[in-house]
Structure 1
Amino acid sequence: MDSVVPVTELLTAILAEQLLFVGEETVGHYFGEDWEFVYRNREYLLWGTVITIVLTLTSILVGFLAGFPAGAIEAYGSGYSQAFVRKFGVLLRGTPILVIMIFTYFVLPIEIVLGAAEFALRSIEFLLGPTPFTVPTDVPEAFLAATIALGLRSAAYQSQIFRGALGSIDEGQMEAARSIGMSRLETIRHVMVPQALRRSVPGFQNEFTIVLKDTSIAFAIGLGELLKRSHDLFTQQTTAVLEVILFISLLYFVLTFGTNRTLDYVSNRFAIPGESS
């Protein structure tokens, strides 16, 4: 019961200030100096949350752009291409993400990667016309290295999600589409892929959550994401370690919970009629 009183008084203070601002002194008075320290640095931690979100999105995008073609090659390819994709995927899935990230940051020449990305983008624009995308040149190397590491590792897992989704579609649909004059490539593109994308949402949801939490590994290369910024704070005030950890745990929970609920909606919204989501 004693713990209920400070919470009630704090809510009263919030209402008294019209829910617009809670002073540091108010937090310190009801919860102590360490929570006041966390509250005072809330913007610093929230900016780390923004970096975590952006890193998650860019890594998932890289994973999708590389993982979906890889899954299609494993499902429908043959020969050297299938063998290469399969072995490379096994290598990435069997290597700890920390090792991959350290390799991309300290060993991989980022300039060459950016040059290759710019060449690929220009090739796409030459074939398909202008695109709204540009290759970033002023992004910190730590962020690029983390994106590449998380993206490649995610691609290795996403490829298996998409391979399984493609393999779950009845082969009779391929035969039916071929019987009405569609080529194999047209059948894969217009018949198999749309169904596979819908069926892969539950697996993709799990992978999205894993990548979100794995962004904390970027702490090892000094990227100022949420975990790195929390470490910076509790080294300044060591008595606030528990409070900082509890606060960032709450932020991670909000992010993962919001992501899961959003993807649950997407799964239900785009589920194949007649199939359970």
Structure 2
Amino acid sequence: MILETIINHLPYLFGGLWVALQLLTALLAMGFVLGLLLALAEVYGHWTLRWFGFAFERVFRGIPELVLLLLFFYGIGEFYAIEPFPAAVLALGLKSTAYQSQIFRGVIQGVPRGQMSAARAIGMSKVQAVRYIVLPQALRQAIGPWTNEFSGELKATSLAYVIGVVELTRQGRYIISSTQGNILVVFAVVALLYFVVNWLGNRVLYRAEEVFAIPGYGEKS
């Protein structure tokens, strides 16, 4: 009976998983672009940009995801009608931006300063040196710590159900309500789906880290 219930409701669970993956992709992409820009501003920008990056990172890293979701959905909703999905992307995406900015800042600062000096010495502008010398190395080194961000944000998508995003966790709640039970089994299946996606994603990222590893970088002589 329980197995039949799960099988019958698998399409709904997979539908919720698809929404969760869309949310994950959107907020990670937003965090990647804005986080990289923020990191560049903190490392190479004017002191005002560095202070802005510092303040942004401290604020959004210091506020829980759940509070951000409620703040963006209900707070912005008082002035402008916003749907649950974009509200979740904004809230979780800005949170991811704060974390990713620190990942990128760390790997950018990890590139030896002598390489920037050498690039400038052969006639490259600062922008060219960052684009062609620093970033290609830094982004390859960022893949390792970025796996943690992937895992963290995947789990954070489950919080979006509190503002009405019909993702995997909320679909699980719907199934429990409609069947009036099976709490342990339904959430066990939900947990399994999260685990599988997390495992697959990390496997891909670990493989990418191996493929794009810089030969000799960080190895002991």
User: What is the TM-score when the length of structure 1 is the normalising length?
Assistant: 0.76
User: What does residue 272 of structure 1 align with?
Assistant: 214
SS in 2 for 1:190: helix
Shift of 1:209: 1.0
- Structure 2: which amino acid aligns with 1:56? L
- Structure 2 partner of 1:146: 88
Q: How does 1:63-78 map to 2 (within 5 A)?
A: 63-78=31-46
Q: Does 1:231 align with 2:173?
A: yes
Does the 8 Å CA contact 1:35/1:240 hold for their aligned counterparts? no
| Structure-to-structure mapping, 1:224-263, within 5 angstroms | 224-263=166-205
Counterparts of 2:48 and 2:218, CA distance in 1: 37
Count of residue correspondences:
219
Matched, 1:36 2:1: no
Counterpart secondary structure, 1:200: helix
Q: How far apart are the structure 1 equivalents of 2:165 and 2:50? A: 35
Aligned-residue offset at 1:77: 1.8
CA distance in 1, matches of 2:20, 2:83: 15
1:236 is displaced (CA, Å) by: 2.2
Compute the RMSD of aligned alpha carbons: 1.8
Task: Provide the rounded CA distance (Å) in 2 between the counterparts of 1:112 and 1:202.
Answer: 39
Structure 2 residue 159 is matched with structure 1 residue 217:
yes
In structure 2, C-alpha distance between the alignment counterparts of 1:151 and 1:240, rounded to whole Å:
33
**Equivalent position SS for 2:215:** coil
Question: 1:111 offset after TM fit, Å?
Answer: 9.4
TM superposition score normalised by structure 2 = 0.94
Which residue, 162, 166, 181 being the options, matches 2:108? 166
2-side partners of 1:187 and 1:112: how far apart? 42
1:185 Cα offset (Å): 1.4
1:35, distance to aligned residue in structure 2 (A): 2.2
Q: Is the 8 A contact 1:97 1:150 kept in 2?
A: yes
Cα separation, 1, equivalents of 2:194 and 2:103: 24
Residue of structure 2 in register with 1:81 after alignment? 49
In structure 1, how many angstroms separate the alpha carbons of the residues matched to 2:133 and 2:2?
A: 58
1:99 and 2:67 matched: yes
Q: Distance in 2 between matches of 1:209 and 1:255?
A: 9
| Distance in 2 separating the partners of 1:34 and 1:205 | 35
Task: Name the structure 2 match of 1:11.
Answer: none
Rounded Cα–Cα distance in structure 1 between residues aligned with 2:85 and 2:48: 33
Distance 1:35 1:276 in 2: 50
Give ranges in structure 2 of 5+ residues lacking alignment.
none
Shift of 1:153: 0.3
Alpha-carbon distance between aligned partners in 2 of 1:213 and 1:100, rounded to the nearest angstrom? 15
Q: Distance in 1 between matches of 2:4 and 2:78?
A: 41
Paired letter, 2:98: A
Q: Deviations over 1:148-194 (max 9, x none)?
A: 11110000000000000001010000111111111111111110011
Structure 1 position 253, deviation (Å): 0.8
1:50-101 per-position Cα deviation (integer Å, ceiling 9, x unaligned): 0011110011001111100101111122311110111111000000011111
Give the share of equivalent positions with the same residue, in percent.
36
- Displacement of 1:104 in angstroms is 1.3
Conservation of the 8 A alpha-carbon contact between 1:219 and 1:228? yes
Alpha-carbon distance in 2 for matches of 1:196, 1:109: 39
